[in-house]
Amino acid sequence: MKIALLGYGKMGKEIERIALERNHEILMRIDSFEDWNEHIYDFLKVDVAIEFSTPATVLDNIMKCFSANVPVVVGTTSWYSQLDTVRELCIEKNQTLFYAINFSVGVNIFFQINKKLAQLMNSHSEYEVYMEEIHHAQKLDAPSGTAITLADDIISTLNRKENWINNLDESGDVLGIKSVRESNVPGTHIITYESANDMIEIKHTAKNRLGFAIGAMLAAEFIAGKKGIYEMKDMLF
Ligand SMILES: NC(=O)c1ccc[n+]([C@@H]2O[C@H](COP(=O)([O-])OP(=O)(O)OC[C@H]3O[C@@H](n4cnc5c(N)ncnc54)[C@H](O)[C@@H]3O)[C@@H](O)[C@H]2O)c1
């Protein structure tokens, strides 16, 4: 496939490595608004775009893909307040969008385990639940998008939790989340259920960024020749 990398930072470079290993061609690399000027004609030849840029630039890049009929895989986070509008536009314009808050296959399995555990805990109110997420110090958002998804899944499954807050001291009907920022941590999420007598912890640790890059590459291959909106569950389960 001929690929456009929209965002050529840490993730863009990792995806490039995987794409080349899988015999794809990187036709263009966009790392700023200005980069578009020299690549506007190349974009017409692209089979799929993979977007890992910034919350401030992702919507403009998605719109460019929709306008040029280029299927797009979106990994950038913190734009989901606009998700409904983007989904509507995608359908209206008969375009192709694959988005995921987390492209790691392991994290998506972890999402399912989290929901199952919350379901089991509905009949065990002696357990308090809380969450910790650890990421590299450059990460701007807290809690992480992955932590928010995990928290939303707990709230919608576990009857005794109504909301989450970025503060571990909370309990009652509020799920406490602690965000820790340390150097060189790609992403760790720990969910703990604790009673007076024991603790159950489920934990996902990303060892590197490769897992996200492979998932995004698989998503790009998955949407080739398809129309519509896709998420990880459509590809994995
Ligand atoms: N969904 C996932 O699985 C997943 C995994 C890792 C990171 N992310 C997200 O992906 C995004 C990028 O992560 P990163 O670690 O590569 O960040 P990064 O800061 O290393 O890279 C972002 C790049 O975007 C570039 N950029 C700026 N303006 C642009 C524009 N108009 N068009 C294209 N690129 C532009 C920047 O120059 C920078 O190189 C973040 O939002 C991050 O949270 C998602």
Query: Which pTM value belongs to this model?
Result: 0.91
Amino acid at 11: M
Q: Is 57 in the pocket of ligand 1 (CB under 6 A)?
A: yes
pLDDT of 140: 76
pLDDT value at residue 168: 83
CB of 141 within 6 A of ligand 1: the answer is no
Per-residue pLDDT tens listing for the chain (237 residues): 999 999 999 999 999 999 999 999 999 999 999 999 999 899 999 999 999 999 999 999 999 999 999 999 999 988 999 999 999 999 999 999 999 999 999 999 999 999 999 999 999 999 999 999 999 998 878 999 999 999 999 999 999 999 999 988 777 899 999 999 998 899 999 999 999 999 999 999 999 999 999 999 999 999 999 999 999 999 999
* Residue 33 CB neighbours (<10 A): 10
Asked about 39 being catalytic, the answer comes back as: no
Q: Which of 10, 11, 208 to mutate to test the pocket of ligand 1 (most atoms within 8 A of CB)?
A: 11
Q: Whose alpha carbon is nearest atom 38 of ligand 1?
A: 9
Ligand 1, atom nearest to 102 Cα: 3
**157 in ligand 1 pocket by Cβ < 6 Å?**
no
Q: What does 10-50 look like in DSSP terms, one character per residue?
A: HHHHHHHHHHHHTT-EEEEEE-STTHHHHHTTGGGG-SEEE
Nearest CA to ligand 1 atom 36: 31
9 lines ligand 1 (CB under 6 A): yes
Domains recognised in the chain with CATH numbers: 2-103+210-236 (3.40.50.720), 105-205 (3.30.360.10)
Find all residues with CB under 8 Å of 150, minimum gap 6, and list them: 110, 111, 114, 131, 189, 191
Report the nearest atom of ligand 1 relative to the CA of 100: 1
Angle at 89 between CA 87 and CA 93, to 5 degrees: 125
> Which of 224, 161, 147 lies closest to 190 in space, CA to CA?
147
Q: Is 11 in the pocket of ligand 1 (CB under 6 A)?
A: yes
Q: Determine whether 227 is an active site residue.
A: no
Which is the closest atom of ligand 1 to the Cα of 141? 43
**3-state DSSP call for residue 103?**
coil
